[in-house]
């Protein structure tokens, strides 16, 4: 799991001791992608498939378009992003990311 600020700077990385290094890189990439495009990565999947006008986004360095990257907002403004990687499926990464946001939501509304 990785949390980045609104500029994509890494703020927190948590890794299970058995998780492969690639899961950290993927989590960071998902969080940065969500922040960079101001859109959850799951929502980017369908608009970036081959043949769509935005398909080239998938080829940009560091962009990870698969579920598990979500924007974090407070008082209607983007404050950061969270990326989760390592669950057995991107839909479960989304669930974990949303649970993390839900857990701190009351702290974000200032």
Residue 61: helix, strand or coil by DSSP? Answer: coil
Residue 54's pLDDT is: 95
pLDDT tens for the chain, residues 1 to 110: 999 999 999 999 999 999 898 999 999 999 999 999 999 999 999 999 999 999 999 999 999 999 999 999 998 899 999 999 998 999 999 999 999 999 998 888 76
Q: Considering the domain 2-108, what is its CATH architecture?
A: 2-Layer Sandwich (3.30)
**Strand-by-strand arrangement of the 77-83 sheet:** 10-13, 2-5, 77-83, 69-74
Whole-number pLDDT of residue 110: 62
Would you state the pLDDT for residue 107? 87
* Domain boundaries, given as residue ranges, for the chain: 2-108
């Amino acid at each position: 799991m990785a949390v980045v600020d609104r500029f994509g700077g890494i703020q927190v990385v948590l890794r299970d001791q058995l998780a492969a290094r690639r899961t950290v890189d993927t989590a960071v990439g998902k969080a940065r992608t969500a922040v960079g495009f101001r859109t959850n990565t799951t929502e980017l999947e369908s608009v970036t498939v081959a043949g769509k006008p935005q398909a080239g986004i998938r080829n940009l360095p560091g962009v990870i378009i698969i579920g598990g990257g979500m924007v974090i907002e407070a008082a209607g403004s983007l404050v950061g992003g969270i990326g989760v990687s390592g669950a057995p499926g991107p839909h479960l990464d989304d669930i974990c990311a949303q649970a993390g946001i839900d857990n701190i939501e009351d702290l974000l509304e200032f």
